[in-house]
Chain A
Amino acid sequence: MIRFILRRLAQAVPTLLAVVTVSFFLMRLAPGGPFDLERPLAPAAMDNLRRVYGLDRPLIAQFGYYLAALARGDLGPSFSFRDRSVLDLIARGLPVSATLGALALALATGLGVGLGIAAALRRGGIVDRLLGLAAALTLSLPSFVVAPLLQIVFGLTLRWLPLGGWEDGAPSHLVLPVITLALPQIGALARLTRASLGEGLRTQPVRTMRSLGLPPIRVTRHALRGALLPVVAYLGPLAASLLTGSVVVETIFGLPGIGRYFVEGALNRDYTLVMGTVLLVAGLVIALNIAADLACAWLDPRLRVAA
């Protein structure tokens, strides 16, 4: 168990290194720099700025310095938010994105898995058929359409909920962004659960249990344990992407999360901020994938032997 985690963590190092390297050089290859203004700076001022931020050194040296700082846990200063470090910015934005993401994840998992089970138990029934349509529909609703629609209906027409803003996480400000984030995932999770449980219910051991006269609840519980494996495997990357925020949702609802940092940082050539965000996302993806694998091993003893 411990060895498994350690091995996976060791495997994560090269992946993260690849992420850092690719994004570092990709950004530096791109035309433009962080201090390009509409009115160009005086050459002397530009040289000064570049020296202060270490941009005058050769690229390889800069990369070395960045890695060294990274090893100390320092993500460097932000180029576009003056006097703020990237860590500082992430510490401010992450709670916002993570709160929304965690709520959306809980909502999507609860509803999606629940509906999926209901559909699998009554294959071809009303729930099943409606769910087939509804899942295809929610999967096809882009957040940048859902968000403005929700704003119109609940914000402008009914005036039940605020149009946007964070307000220190007041519950009424959370409702619309959370629904927007959760909606497509409800469909995806329901579909996955239905397919997986449907298959599980047809396996030989489950049939045997049923023929032996076990109560349906116990049979279902038994089949569900194995059927949840693909769902859990899907939840890992999903959690990572939900927790790190969504550019679209945060822009439309005016939320100060980290989803926006990335696109804004890239547009402003804020090298360190982009690197910090990419690293955070990659790290979370890896960590949550390991967590998902552990959960799978807990659900299915056969995987423990393989690991």
Chain B
Amino acid sequence: MLGLGVERLRADMNRLLALLFHQGVLDEQFLQLQQLQDESSPNFVSEVVNIYFQESEKLLRNLRSLLMDRELSDYKKMGVHLNQFIGSSSSIGAKRVRNVCVAFRVASEQNNRLGCLRALELLEHEYCYLKNKLHELFQIEQQRLLAAAVRYPVQH
């Protein structure tokens, strides 16, 4: 029964991942991230993603405060933040977030305040979606690991 649970959870995970890939939320870089997880760093993916969340939220806050400064928005600084956002998002395979960041950067280079605001909203939306989905993924992963751990004594 528990063994079946493991299989079911694995299937759930794969389905969620397939969905995220299909939606373009994630790309193959995320798979590379998963491949980097090994015995020496068993929680590598969640570790990195959590760092990513922290950093991203910092960046989003900064971007918003830069844009809210109605008079003199520092577009150059915005560009710097966006470059970092692009780098980290693409590194974990957050494809859609990255794409929005690129659009955002274009708008900031054109000193297009309206475009920037729109892009920021979209970015926040995409980021939230990604965060929720990844949390979901990690939760299933946790359950799967628990189930897998339980199985061994049963098999005895």
Do A and B come from the same complex?
A: no
Chain A residues packing against B (C-beta within 8 Å): none
Chain B residues packing against A (C-beta within 8 Å): none
